Structure 1
Amino acid sequence: MNWTLEVVIVPVSDLDRAKKFYAEQLGFVVDHDTVIGDEARIIQLTPPGSGCSIVIGRGAVPDMPPGSLKGLQLVVPDIERAHAELVQRGVEVSDVQVLGANPRPTPHPLDNVGFVFFTDPDGNAWAVQQISSRA
Protein backbone atom coordinates (compact mmCIF):
# COMPACT_ATOMS: atom_id res chain seq x y z
CA MET A 1 0.00 0.00 0.00
CA ASN A 2 1.28 3.49 -0.86
CA TRP A 3 1.04 6.23 1.76
CA THR A 4 1.24 9.67 0.23
CA LEU A 5 1.62 12.99 2.00
CA GLU A 6 -0.67 15.34 0.14
CA VAL A 7 -1.45 18.33 2.38
CA VAL A 8 0.50 20.31 4.96
CA ILE A 9 -1.25 23.03 6.94
CA VAL A 10 0.77 26.24 7.21
CA PRO A 11 -0.30 28.61 10.00
CA VAL A 12 -0.55 32.25 8.90
CA SER A 13 -2.02 35.43 10.36
CA ASP A 14 -3.30 37.10 7.16
CA LEU A 15 -4.80 34.83 4.51
CA ASP A 16 -4.71 37.32 1.65
CA ARG A 17 -1.08 38.32 2.34
CA ALA A 18 -0.05 34.65 2.57
CA LYS A 19 -1.98 33.72 -0.58
CA LYS A 20 -0.26 36.53 -2.46
CA PHE A 21 3.19 35.44 -1.19
CA TYR A 22 2.74 31.77 -2.05
CA ALA A 23 0.98 32.33 -5.38
CA GLU A 24 2.70 35.43 -6.74
CA GLN A 25 6.16 35.29 -5.20
CA LEU A 26 6.72 31.53 -4.98
CA GLY A 27 4.62 30.61 -8.01
CA PHE A 28 2.44 28.04 -6.24
CA VAL A 29 -0.80 27.20 -8.07
CA VAL A 30 -3.99 28.23 -6.27
CA ASP A 31 -6.04 25.03 -6.34
CA HIS A 32 -8.99 26.59 -4.55
CA ASP A 33 -9.97 29.43 -2.24
CA THR A 34 -13.16 28.31 -0.53
CA VAL A 35 -15.31 30.24 1.93
CA ILE A 36 -17.36 28.00 4.22
CA GLY A 37 -19.89 30.18 6.00
CA ASP A 38 -18.95 33.34 7.87
CA GLU A 39 -16.10 31.90 9.93
CA ALA A 40 -14.15 29.50 7.70
CA ARG A 41 -11.97 29.91 4.63
CA ILE A 42 -9.60 27.34 3.12
CA ILE A 43 -6.96 28.12 0.49
CA GLN A 44 -5.04 25.24 -1.05
CA LEU A 45 -1.87 25.93 -3.04
CA THR A 46 0.48 23.50 -4.76
CA PRO A 47 4.11 24.04 -5.75
CA PRO A 48 4.61 23.41 -9.49
CA GLY A 49 5.28 19.71 -10.06
CA SER A 50 4.49 18.69 -6.48
CA GLY A 51 2.16 15.94 -5.31
CA CYS A 52 1.80 17.71 -1.95
CA SER A 53 -0.10 20.93 -1.37
CA ILE A 54 -0.20 23.43 1.45
CA VAL A 55 -3.38 24.74 3.05
CA ILE A 56 -3.75 28.09 4.72
CA GLY A 57 -7.02 28.99 6.31
CA ARG A 58 -9.17 29.88 9.27
CA GLY A 59 -12.00 28.16 11.02
CA ALA A 60 -11.67 24.72 9.49
CA VAL A 61 -7.95 24.11 10.07
CA PRO A 62 -6.04 23.24 13.25
CA ASP A 63 -5.22 26.24 15.41
CA MET A 64 -1.45 26.76 15.35
CA PRO A 65 0.46 29.98 16.05
CA PRO A 66 1.29 31.82 12.80
CA GLY A 67 4.93 31.29 11.85
CA SER A 68 5.35 28.20 14.04
CA LEU A 69 5.99 25.73 11.22
CA LYS A 70 9.71 25.15 10.64
CA GLY A 71 11.55 22.75 8.37
CA LEU A 72 9.31 22.65 5.32
CA GLN A 73 11.40 21.55 2.37
CA LEU A 74 11.07 21.84 -1.38
CA VAL A 75 13.30 19.94 -3.81
CA VAL A 76 14.49 21.29 -7.15
CA PRO A 77 16.82 19.94 -9.85
CA ASP A 78 18.89 23.16 -10.01
CA ILE A 79 19.42 25.18 -6.80
CA GLU A 80 21.20 28.06 -8.53
CA ARG A 81 18.31 28.50 -10.96
CA ALA A 82 15.80 28.23 -8.09
CA HIS A 83 17.75 30.85 -6.13
CA ALA A 84 17.77 33.22 -9.11
CA GLU A 85 14.01 32.74 -9.62
CA LEU A 86 13.25 33.45 -5.95
CA VAL A 87 15.38 36.59 -6.01
CA GLN A 88 13.69 37.72 -9.25
CA ARG A 89 10.27 37.19 -7.61
CA GLY A 90 11.28 39.36 -4.64
CA VAL A 91 11.68 36.61 -2.04
CA GLU A 92 14.26 37.28 0.66
CA VAL A 93 16.31 34.13 0.28
CA SER A 94 19.70 33.03 1.60
CA ASP A 95 22.69 32.54 -0.66
CA VAL A 96 23.24 28.99 -1.91
CA GLN A 97 24.82 26.99 0.90
CA VAL A 98 26.54 23.61 0.90
CA LEU A 99 25.54 21.53 3.90
CA GLY A 100 27.64 18.47 4.56
CA ALA A 101 29.43 16.17 2.19
CA ASN A 102 27.71 14.52 -0.73
CA PRO A 103 26.79 10.95 0.30
CA ARG A 104 27.50 9.58 -3.18
CA PRO A 105 29.14 10.71 -6.40
CA THR A 106 26.85 12.89 -8.51
CA PRO A 107 27.22 14.72 -11.82
CA HIS A 108 26.73 18.07 -10.08
CA PRO A 109 28.62 19.10 -6.93
CA LEU A 110 25.51 20.68 -5.38
CA ASP A 111 23.31 17.58 -5.67
CA ASN A 112 21.98 16.58 -2.23
CA VAL A 113 24.03 19.23 -0.43
CA GLY A 114 22.99 22.53 -2.08
CA PHE A 115 20.36 24.51 -0.15
CA VAL A 116 18.72 27.92 0.11
CA PHE A 117 16.45 29.11 2.90
CA PHE A 118 13.58 31.59 3.20
CA THR A 119 10.61 32.39 5.41
CA ASP A 120 7.08 33.42 4.55
CA PRO A 121 5.69 36.73 5.86
CA ASP A 122 4.72 35.08 9.17
CA GLY A 123 8.07 33.37 9.73
CA ASN A 124 7.25 29.81 8.64
CA ALA A 125 10.66 28.48 7.60
CA TRP A 126 11.37 26.78 4.29
CA ALA A 127 14.43 25.06 2.81
CA VAL A 128 15.03 24.31 -0.86
CA GLN A 129 17.39 21.43 -1.68
CA GLN A 130 18.93 20.42 -4.99
CA ILE A 131 18.35 16.82 -6.02
CA SER A 132 18.70 16.42 -9.77
CA SER A 133 18.41 12.64 -9.78
CA ARG A 134 17.52 9.94 -7.29
CA ALA A 135 19.42 6.73 -6.62
Structure 2
Amino acid sequence: MNTLFKSIKRSREIYASYIENYTLEQLNLIPEGLRNNLIWNIGHIIVSQQRLAYLLSENETLLTEEFTNKYVNGTIPDGKTTQEEVDEIKSLLFSTIEQTILDYENGKFENYTETQTRTGFLLTNFEEGMLFNHYHEGVHLGFMMKIKRFI
Protein backbone atom coordinates (compact mmCIF):
# COMPACT_ATOMS: atom_id res chain seq x y z
CA MET A 1 0.00 0.00 0.00
CA ASN A 2 2.90 2.38 0.57
CA THR A 3 3.76 2.28 -3.13
CA LEU A 4 0.14 2.85 -4.10
CA PHE A 5 -0.23 5.79 -1.72
CA LYS A 6 3.03 7.26 -3.03
CA SER A 7 1.71 6.97 -6.59
CA ILE A 8 -1.62 8.59 -5.65
CA LYS A 9 0.26 11.47 -4.02
CA ARG A 10 2.24 11.96 -7.24
CA SER A 11 -0.99 11.94 -9.21
CA ARG A 12 -2.36 14.63 -6.89
CA GLU A 13 0.74 16.75 -7.54
CA ILE A 14 -0.02 16.58 -11.26
CA TYR A 15 -3.60 17.69 -10.60
CA ALA A 16 -2.32 20.56 -8.44
CA SER A 17 -0.08 21.70 -11.30
CA TYR A 18 -3.21 22.36 -13.36
CA ILE A 19 -4.52 24.64 -10.62
CA GLU A 20 -1.16 26.42 -10.46
CA ASN A 21 -0.68 26.80 -14.22
CA TYR A 22 -4.16 27.73 -15.46
CA THR A 23 -6.23 30.82 -14.75
CA LEU A 24 -9.59 30.67 -13.04
CA GLU A 25 -11.23 31.30 -16.40
CA GLN A 26 -9.30 28.43 -18.00
CA LEU A 27 -10.11 26.07 -15.11
CA ASN A 28 -13.80 26.87 -15.56
CA LEU A 29 -13.92 26.64 -19.36
CA ILE A 30 -16.18 23.87 -20.65
CA PRO A 31 -15.09 23.29 -24.25
CA GLU A 32 -17.82 22.98 -26.84
CA GLY A 33 -18.95 19.39 -27.17
CA LEU A 34 -17.65 18.39 -23.72
CA ARG A 35 -19.55 18.09 -20.44
CA ASN A 36 -17.06 19.28 -17.87
CA ASN A 37 -13.96 21.35 -17.21
CA LEU A 38 -10.57 21.07 -15.56
CA ILE A 39 -11.65 22.09 -12.07
CA TRP A 40 -14.68 19.78 -12.06
CA ASN A 41 -12.43 16.80 -12.86
CA ILE A 42 -10.18 17.66 -9.92
CA GLY A 43 -13.10 18.07 -7.53
CA HIS A 44 -14.59 14.85 -8.84
CA ILE A 45 -11.53 12.71 -8.16
CA ILE A 46 -11.49 13.99 -4.56
CA VAL A 47 -15.14 13.05 -4.06
CA SER A 48 -14.67 9.68 -5.72
CA GLN A 49 -11.67 8.77 -3.56
CA GLN A 50 -13.60 9.67 -0.44
CA ARG A 51 -16.58 7.59 -1.46
CA LEU A 52 -14.39 4.60 -2.38
CA ALA A 53 -12.45 4.79 0.88
CA TYR A 54 -14.86 6.07 3.49
CA LEU A 55 -18.43 5.44 2.40
CA LEU A 56 -17.79 1.88 1.28
CA SER A 57 -16.10 1.20 4.62
CA GLU A 58 -19.04 2.65 6.55
CA ASN A 59 -17.21 5.80 7.61
CA GLU A 60 -18.08 9.45 7.09
CA THR A 61 -16.14 11.22 4.37
CA LEU A 62 -13.91 14.21 5.06
CA LEU A 63 -16.02 16.38 2.74
CA THR A 64 -19.07 18.54 3.19
CA GLU A 65 -22.32 17.41 1.64
CA GLU A 66 -22.32 20.56 -0.50
CA PHE A 67 -18.87 19.78 -1.92
CA THR A 68 -19.80 16.17 -2.58
CA ASN A 69 -23.04 17.11 -4.32
CA LYS A 70 -21.19 19.51 -6.63
CA TYR A 71 -18.60 16.98 -7.85
CA VAL A 72 -20.20 13.55 -7.47
CA ASN A 73 -20.51 11.32 -10.54
CA GLY A 74 -23.24 12.52 -12.89
CA THR A 75 -23.04 16.20 -12.01
CA ILE A 76 -22.30 18.85 -14.60
CA PRO A 77 -20.32 21.99 -13.72
CA ASP A 78 -21.78 25.44 -14.22
CA GLY A 79 -18.41 26.99 -15.11
CA LYS A 80 -18.61 29.39 -12.15
CA THR A 81 -16.23 27.87 -9.62
CA THR A 82 -14.76 30.72 -7.54
CA GLN A 83 -11.12 31.22 -6.62
CA GLU A 84 -12.02 30.39 -3.02
CA GLU A 85 -13.45 27.05 -4.16
CA VAL A 86 -10.36 26.37 -6.29
CA ASP A 87 -8.17 27.03 -3.25
CA GLU A 88 -10.28 24.60 -1.22
CA ILE A 89 -9.97 21.95 -3.94
CA LYS A 90 -6.19 22.36 -4.00
CA SER A 91 -6.03 21.93 -0.24
CA LEU A 92 -8.34 18.90 -0.31
CA LEU A 93 -6.20 17.22 -2.96
CA PHE A 94 -3.56 16.63 -0.32
CA SER A 95 -5.37 16.74 3.03
CA THR A 96 -7.83 14.01 2.06
CA ILE A 97 -5.21 11.54 0.89
CA GLU A 98 -2.96 12.26 3.90
CA GLN A 99 -5.88 11.60 6.26
CA THR A 100 -6.80 8.47 4.34
CA ILE A 101 -3.26 7.15 4.84
CA LEU A 102 -3.42 7.87 8.58
CA ASP A 103 -6.83 6.24 8.85
CA TYR A 104 -5.59 3.20 6.95
CA GLU A 105 -2.60 2.88 9.26
CA ASN A 106 -5.00 3.07 12.22
CA GLY A 107 -7.25 0.29 10.88
CA LYS A 108 -10.25 2.44 10.06
CA PHE A 109 -11.11 0.55 6.86
CA GLU A 110 -11.59 -2.98 8.23
CA ASN A 111 -15.19 -3.19 7.02
CA TYR A 112 -15.89 -2.73 3.32
CA THR A 113 -19.09 -3.04 1.33
CA GLU A 114 -18.45 -5.05 -1.81
CA THR A 115 -19.39 -3.09 -4.92
CA GLN A 116 -19.27 -3.46 -8.68
CA THR A 117 -18.19 -0.32 -10.53
CA ARG A 118 -19.91 0.81 -13.69
CA THR A 119 -16.75 -0.16 -15.56
CA GLY A 120 -16.98 -3.74 -14.32
CA PHE A 121 -14.46 -3.80 -11.47
CA LEU A 122 -15.51 -5.79 -8.41
CA LEU A 123 -14.20 -4.11 -5.26
CA THR A 124 -14.23 -6.31 -2.17
CA ASN A 125 -11.94 -4.44 0.23
CA PHE A 126 -10.28 -1.10 0.86
CA GLU A 127 -7.09 -2.04 -0.96
CA GLU A 128 -9.01 -2.91 -4.13
CA GLY A 129 -10.96 0.33 -3.74
CA MET A 130 -7.75 2.34 -3.67
CA LEU A 131 -6.34 0.46 -6.66
CA PHE A 132 -9.50 1.29 -8.59
CA ASN A 133 -9.28 4.87 -7.34
CA HIS A 134 -5.82 5.22 -8.85
CA TYR A 135 -7.09 3.88 -12.18
CA HIS A 136 -10.05 6.29 -11.97
CA GLU A 137 -7.77 9.26 -11.32
CA GLY A 138 -5.73 8.31 -14.38
CA VAL A 139 -8.87 8.24 -16.53
CA HIS A 140 -9.77 11.75 -15.41
CA LEU A 141 -6.25 12.99 -16.00
CA GLY A 142 -6.72 11.79 -19.57
CA PHE A 143 -9.95 13.80 -19.82
CA MET A 144 -8.09 16.85 -18.55
CA MET A 145 -5.34 16.40 -21.12
CA LYS A 146 -8.07 16.46 -23.77
CA ILE A 147 -9.69 19.57 -22.29
CA LYS A 148 -6.41 21.49 -22.13
CA ARG A 149 -6.05 21.17 -25.91
CA PHE A 150 -9.06 23.50 -26.20
CA ILE A 151 -7.60 26.15 -23.90
Q: Same fold (TM over 0.5)?
A: no
Q: Which has the larger radius of gyration?
A: 1
State the structure with bigger RCO (CA 8 A, min sep 6), 1 or 2.
2
Greater strand proportion? 1
Q: TM-score, normalised by structure 1?
A: 0.29
More helix by share: 2
